[in-house]
Chains A and B, each alone.
Chain A
Amino acid sequence: MIDKLSKKDIRAIKIGAIAAVIIAVLMFGSKLHGRWKKAKTKGSELYAKLDAIDVDQIKQAGLMSIVPVIEMPKIEGEQKFLFRDKLSEQLKRAGIRNKPLQVQAGRKSPQAGYKLLLVKCNATCRFSQVLDLLARLNENPYLVGIEELKIKCDPKKKGQVDLDQVDLDLVVSTFAI
């Protein structure tokens, strides 16, 4: 039967076959390409997540030394009380008799996308108590950081200062949703 076909017929059949292959390749190829693209996007998202979690051990240790404990931020009302209570507890533990803590709404943190709440603390205490408080502040799981700190003591005669009575103004921050 093939012998009966002319050269033109054979050429037409060849072109037809090539066209059919191209159509099939394009059909399946576009589907596969779509699937591939989707898989790649999903994959890159997943790898980004893994990168976020999988931190180098030394780096993680460094991070843990700065942030030993942390609680995920809660809604503003709840977060405000939790943070204030924990801070009060820490002040009390340090033996600092503070004036009532004042909560201020701060700016929105551009990095984390959380609201920044500020708590202001004024007190008169010993310098050692200040050091004690600063040393333990990192144990507050709601603390973000110290925004402001003012330590003032009056000079005595002959170049001496009274370290038993220092004025402390402290502003600390926490994140809230």
Chain B
Amino acid sequence: MNNDKINAEIRQSIVAIVKDDNKLKGIELQNQDGSLEILWTRSGESTDADWREFVAECGLSVEPAAPADTDSDRMVVVGFNSAGTIFHRTNVPDVGAKEIESIIKLQAETRLPLSPDQMEMAWRADHLQDGQVGVIMAVARKEQLQKFVDNVRPFEPTKILLSCEGIVKVWGAFFSGNKETAVVLSTGTHDTQVCLVENGRLSNAVVLDIGVDDFSTDGTVEQNETTERFAQDMSSVLELFGCSNQAELPVFVLSDGSAAYVSIVSSLRLAGLNARVALPDVNGLMAKSELSVEDIYEYRVPIGLALMAFDETTDELNIFKNLYNPSEKEVKKHWLHSPKVTCAIASVMLVLLAIVTFAVDVTGPKAIEKRLEASVSDTDMNQLVKRQQLIKTVARERPDLLDILKLVNESGERGITLTNLYFKKGQPVSISGQVTSNDQLSRFEKNLQDNKGIEKVNYTANMNAKSKRITFTMTFHYKNFTKKATRTRG
């Protein structure tokens, strides 16, 4: 891991938004060298708060085409309220993940009153006992999930998490949740999320339709009814969770310290449950402004979701996996780097090259022919070619005899008498004559040899006893005319 990545991780912050208690709540949690700091909190005033409006208020872009917010390393997660989600625990044989999935799907189809195309499901295996794997499955109506996705898609959250998982996470982190198995109650105004926690993870969950407001009614009779109903519901829930020893199982009621939560705990205790109040630990969190117990309680769900997002090892129940895939932040490459585009350009260029070559090959000669036709006829053209070829041939066949005579004359000194000159094509030129001395003859030979176009000068000499002069015959080659095998002359 390089330093840049470490720095990026240190600076990372998470914006978590959730609809809790009919209000949209958002926070930004920053992880700085392992210490957590809440940068801001915000909650929608209206109960019908619109996601887009709220997200815009939180300073996030709601335009899908907007450039990615890469500078701040800010990740956005949203929570899905688990009210419409059914959780179910089951045990399956310890087989492969694929097999487990098909078993769970079958179970879900038989147990739930929905056809497979109407529901979405997520599951997670946990402990292994006696060759059986415990599995938690979460099932929800597809239509409901799709509606939620449509609401949040414009700001492209990185993850959609289940709120109840956030509750478990925040309980473990800030409500002293150190028990391996426990029941956690997150009480809202009108409902209560009951979560069974095993080994620090959500193991089952149910939503009860009794909230803090129900415990705050003025009438004693009504309150007693509520307390009784709540205790009964809780007993049923714990039975549903498969908790055999209800008296010993710790039940944590997340609280902001107000009296309402004390009465909830009291009612549960009266019903024989091991209930207790769980207050948030303010010291574990930093904030720009002073942070109270109430604040942490108010934003417990988004804080929990943000903590889940920080923890990359969390194996969350992703019920949205078939409906929402956050688009990857693609690094926009230059269009020239696309192989498809470059291949297409290359193909077009090749076709153009072929067309141009074809056009040049076809039209070029035609144009030349046209111009020639305008100036000379075809017959004239042929005659011109023949005439030019004839001139070239004749030039190669025509030796310059005057040049030979001139070279011979210039090479000889005074006193040399030439009597014969014989030239025949394909034979060496032969000259004969008389000289006064051998030196004179040698110089004559050398001078002749030095001339350009004259090669292989040889001579034979005889002394004429009568005239006391040397008679000689000298041969030499003149250019290519006197060479036998050569056809090309000149």
Contact = CB atoms under 8 A, between A and B. Distances in A.
Contact of A159 (B381, B388, B436): B436
Nearest to A148: B424
B394 A145 contact: yes
B418 interface: yes
A159 B415 CA distance: 7
A92 interface: no
A72 B361 contact: no
A13 to B, nearest CB: 23
Given A43-B364, A161-B418, A52 B388 contact: yes
Contacts of B396: 111
A134 interface: yes
B389 interface: yes
Given A50-B368, A160-B417, A161-B418, A67 B395 contact: yes
Contacts of A152: 419-420
A97 interface: no
Nearest to A171: B424
B402 interface: yes
Contacts of A155: 417, 419, 433-434
B421 A146 contact: no
B-side binding surface: helix, strand, loop or mixed? helix
A110 B487 CA distance: 9
Contacts of A53: 381, 384-385, 388
B383 interface: yes
Interface in A33-67: 35-36, 39-40, 42-43, 46-47, 49-50, 52-53, 55, 63, 66-67
A4 interface: no
B391 A67 contact: yes
A5 interface: no
A51 to B, nearest CB: 10
A153 interface: yes
Given A66-B395, A131-B405, A112 B390 contact: yes
Q: Which of B384, B397, B434 counts the most A-chain CB atoms under 10 A from its CB?
A: B397
Interface string B352-371: 00000010011011001100
A52 B421 contact: no
A63 B433 CA distance: 35
B422 A144 contact: no
B423 interface: yes
Contact of B398 (A32, A55, A145, A161): A145
A151 interface: yes
B297 to A, nearest CB: 54
B387 A112 contact: no
A150 B421 contact: yes
B83 to A, nearest CB: 38
B392 interface: yes
A154 interface: yes
Contacts, number: 119
Contacts of A42: 365
A83 interface: no
B331 interface: no
B394 A147 contact: no
B421 A173 contact: no
B443 interface: no
Contacts of A66: 394-395, 398, 400, 490
A52 B383 CA distance: 11
Contact of A72 (B390, B422, B425, B433): B390
A146 B423 contact: yes
A68 B384 CA distance: 16
Contacts of B487: 110-111
A138 B399 CA distance: 10
A153 B418 CA distance: 8
B393 interface: yes
B105 interface: no
A36 B361 contact: yes
A95 interface: no
B141 interface: no
A109 interface: yes
B401 interface: yes
Interface in A127-177: 131, 134-135, 138, 143-155, 159-161, 173, 175
A73 B390 contact: yes
A153 B388 CA distance: 40
A32 B397 CA distance: 46
Contact of B425 (A110, A148, A153): A148
Nearest to B406: A131
B386 interface: yes
Contacts of B405: 131, 134
B395 A63 contact: yes
B281 to A, nearest CB: 59
A42 B366 CA distance: 9
Given A147-B425, A161-B418, A46 B368 contact: yes
Contact of A112 (B383, B389, B418, B436): B389
Contact of A148 (B390, B417, B423): B423
B469 interface: yes
A65 B293 CA distance: 116
Contacts of B433: 155
A63 B391 contact: yes
A23 interface: no
With most chain B CB atoms within 10 A of its CB, the pick from A43, A134, A144 is A43
5 contacts: A53-B384, A66-B400, A134-B402, A143-B398, A161-B417
Interface of B: 358, 361-362, 364-365, 368-369, 381-402, 405, 415, 417-425, 433-434, 436, 467, 469, 487, 490
Given A53-B388, A155-B419, 17 more contacts: A39-B362, A49-B381, A49-B385, A53-B381, A53-B384, A66-B394, A67-B398, A111-B487, A143-B398, A145-B397, A145-B425, A147-B425, A148-B423, A148-B424, A149-B423, A150-B422, A159-B469
- Top 9 A-B pairs ranked by shortest CB distance? A43-B365, A145-B398, A145-B397, A112-B393, A39-B362, A66-B395, A148-B424, A149-B423, A151-B421
